[in-house]
Chains A and B, each alone.
Chain A
Amino acid sequence: MPPDLWSLYALMLKSRLLEEAVAMFWQDGLISGEMHLGTGEEAVIAGVVAHLREGDAMALDHRGTAALVMRGVDPVLLLREMLGRPDGLCGGKGGHMHLFSKEHLSASSGIVGSAGPTAAGFALASQYLRPGTVAVAFFGEGAMNQGMLLESMNLASAWNLPVLFVCKDDGWAITTASKALTGGDLNERARGLGIPASEVDGLDVSAVWEAAGSAVERARSGQGPAFLRARCVHFEGHFLGFQLIRLVRNPFKEMPKISIPLIRSLLRRGGAGLRERLSGMKTVLGAVQSTRRDPRRDRDNDPVRRARMALPSDAARLQELESQVEKEIHDALASALEEVPS
């Protein structure tokens, strides 16, 4: 059965518009601390979440908003949560890194790698209480170096747990290019633990949908865990206001703040020889360079746009769908900004 591209696109668009509203809140200072968006990874989330049904569980990382809205959590509740309102999803006490929906068996965490044990535990409960249901873990490629995630993959393999491990690989862990600090190949790691692994283009929602479909079916039918690696991008870098992105977007403003103390330190007496110093400088400049050339800065890599282009040509249907989703988010936004009932 081919995927229903229209509904996948609707899921992605809804999540994108919601997160754009969240970004606006953040810019306006209505959200105070860190804000990690899932913009750029919508195809990965949609392609997986579309397979989930009643009783399935999700273990989410610090970018859980997209998965929750696609899973059916009311966008109003999500927006109110971000605003820290008592009528938010978690009473304003969780915030975007700690979103919980008991109804959807979905738990988030800001502790990198913790989606592993959480999904394994959800899946264990599935085996006893809800046979035929599955658990999904969403995490980044950086998390693949966290012990508890690797241990959970082994646990899921050893106990034949119905878990789908989804690695959203954008190549970056904050300022670190993950490749430089990751030994071997991630798919081989999974296979080495006895877990079948597949790799898809995470910007292509159909491809994700297909790969996730067979993995979820396997898990439902008691054949154990699977690993899915999907490459994607994060348009905003690690989080909103990310220094490296700001530097590239606004070099005249941001560069002096960074370069002046840097050069001063480079020239300070005491320390390494010139070669070592220059090698350090190369690392810093390299990070700026790779941000500048980064695929995340190329709009052609926008999965929402790609999904839109892949739709069969039907202008009327497209317009109807888009205005419906836009209206939903617009109304949610208005409702989220209503005065807090006293």
Chain B
Amino acid sequence: MRTMFFTQAVDDALARAMADDPRIVLFGEDTPLLRRELLVRFGPKRVRGAPISESAFLGAGVAAALAGLRPVVEIYMVDFLGVCMDALLNHAAKVETFSGGKWTAPVVVRAPCGGGYGDGGQHEQSLWGWLAHIPGLTVLVPSTPADAGGLMLAALRHDGPVIFLEHKLLSETWLEFLGSGGRRTVKFDIPEEGAKGPVPKTWEPLPIGKAILRRTGDDMTIVSVGSGIHRAIEAAEALEKEEISAGVMDLRTVSPLDKATICESVAQTGRMLVVDEDYEAFGLSGELSAILLEAGISCRYARVCTQTTIPYSRYLEDRCLPNATGIMEIARQLMRS
């Protein structure tokens, strides 16, 4: 078994795929220097810098995918998809249907997401629910290095557009670049298990749309993605001492959701607690409840999500984003209800 950091795992799997498939090209702002290890191995023709023109280069990535390339387009942060959403919303996501199923855009959009390091609400959003809302987009949110590499490989083999989100608290690269900047004076609540971990000797693609039970428990199923998984596990371990047995399910793929696995687990425990760093209203947490209702599963339900714009102050931010203490509190209430 090898051990890797989260972003290292993504890059390693990506390098593996690039070595096998010359159609894979990489571009985005600062990509040559940020992905310098890929640059020196695959050269500047395949690892390109783009101007700060997201609507142009993301739109071009979608069309290049239609025309035979397999582009990985890097967006500096998922928040900045705001300026170029059209390429995904009205183009990448639509072409399969509009072409009568004859044409798809196998583009991978790679972007860091998430908060917990003090950049504020224009740079720390999750937005996977917003993206998953659109039919035709696949949305992947890995929580461990092994999953990150395996899902990146799956994304590269997938025939349609895929959004691949890397939580910044899991990424040593992003945290060093944006957070600590070489300082020792700041601390981040980094989920260790997600930031560094074992990865397979040779990368295999993970199935898209498959959730995994990270922890078993009889009293409730905590469902989450990304760094939320680690908060949920932390809470579940502490709840054990209070004789509350909570399972933790890692969705890994936000769209398409693994409905069968979710329903099966919640049918057994009778309680679902959604931990979602993305916004609460009109998002993943509501969707999960709808799935259960549609399947005729009756259960107790609660959620711990981000409800407001993420404030800049670390103190306020900590109170805004889901954390283990908040999860435990809601879990106890859920047990009483």
Contacts and interface: CB of A to CB of B under 8 A. Distances in A.
Interface of A: 26-29, 31-34, 81, 84-85, 90, 92-95, 97-98, 109-113, 142-143, 145-148, 173-176, 178, 180-182, 239-244, 246, 254, 258, 261-262, 264-266, 268-273, 275-277, 279-281, 283-284, 287
A306 B315 CA distance: 41
Nearest to B33: A175
Given A84-B312, A84-B316, A145-B53, A280 B41 contact: yes
Given A33-B179, A241-B181, A265-B40, A110 B122 contact: yes
B40 A29 contact: no
21 contacts: A29-B183, A84-B313, A92-B311, A93-B120, A93-B313, A110-B120, A110-B122, A111-B122, A145-B52, A148-B83, A175-B32, A242-B181, A254-B182, A265-B41, A268-B15, A271-B15, A271-B18, A277-B43, A279-B44, A280-B32, A280-B39
Interface in B34-63: 34, 36-47, 49-56
B186 A29 contact: yes
Nearest to A29: B185
B316 A146 contact: no
Nearest to B308: A93
A271 B20 CA distance: 8
B34 A84 contact: no
Contact of B44 (A95, A269, A280): A280
A287 B16 CA distance: 26
Contacts of B51: 142, 145, 176, 178, 181-182
A32 B52 contact: no
B314 interface: yes
A28 B185 contact: yes
Contacts of A181: 49-51
A116 B193 CA distance: 43
Nearest to A270: B19
B41 A113 contact: no
A253 to B, nearest CB: 9
User: Which residue, B32, B40, B315, has most C-beta atoms of chain A within 10 A?
Assistant: B40
A84 B318 CA distance: 12
Contacts of A97: 119-120, 122-123
B180 A241 contact: yes
B118 interface: yes
B313 A92 contact: yes
User: Which residue, B43, B49, B119, has most C-beta atoms of chain A within 10 A?
Assistant: B43
Contact of A84 (B42, B47, B54, B314): B314
B98 interface: no
B43 A95 contact: no
Nearest to B176: A243
A175 B306 CA distance: 32
Contacts of B44: 276, 279-280, 283
Contacts of A28: 185
Given A276-B42, A277-B40, A280-B41, 5 more contacts: A94-B312, A146-B52, A175-B34, A270-B16, A283-B33
B30 interface: yes
**Which 6 pairs show the lowest CB-CB distances between chains A and B?**
A241-B181, A276-B43, A29-B185, A32-B118, A84-B313, A95-B312
B52 to A, nearest CB: 5
Contacts of B33: 175-176, 244, 283-284, 287
A243 B177 contact: yes
Nearest to A258: B36
A109 B80 CA distance: 12
B101 interface: no
A147 B80 CA distance: 13
A258 B36 CA distance: 9
Nearest to A239: B181
Contacts of B314: 32, 84
Contacts of A275: 43
Nearest to A266: B40
A342 to B, nearest CB: 14
Given A276-B42, A276-B43, A27 B122 contact: no
Given A94-B120, A176-B30, A243-B177, A262 B37 contact: yes
A85 B39 contact: no
A280 B42 contact: yes
A340 B39 CA distance: 49
Interface string B169-211: 0000000111111110111000000000000000000000000
A34 B119 contact: yes
A259 to B, nearest CB: 10
Interface string B305-326: 0000101111110000000000
Given A33-B117, A243-B177, A272 B42 contact: yes
Nearest to B55: A147
Contacts of B180: 241
A275 B44 CA distance: 10
Nearest to B80: A111
A181 B57 CA distance: 12
A109 B82 CA distance: 13
Given A145-B53, A287-B33, A280 B182 contact: no
A178 B51 CA distance: 8
B29 interface: yes
Nearest to B124: A33
A93 B119 CA distance: 10
B40 A147 contact: no
A262 B36 contact: yes
Contacts of A93: 120, 309, 311-313, 316
B41 A143 contact: no
Interface string B4-22: 0000000000011011100
Contacts of A176: 29-30, 33, 49, 51
A97 B79 CA distance: 14
B144 to A, nearest CB: 21
B40 A33 contact: no
Contacts of A33: 117-120, 123, 178-179
User: Which residue, A29, A182, A265, A284, has most C-beta atoms of chain B within 10 A?
Assistant: A265
A174 B38 CA distance: 19
Contacts of B19: 269-271
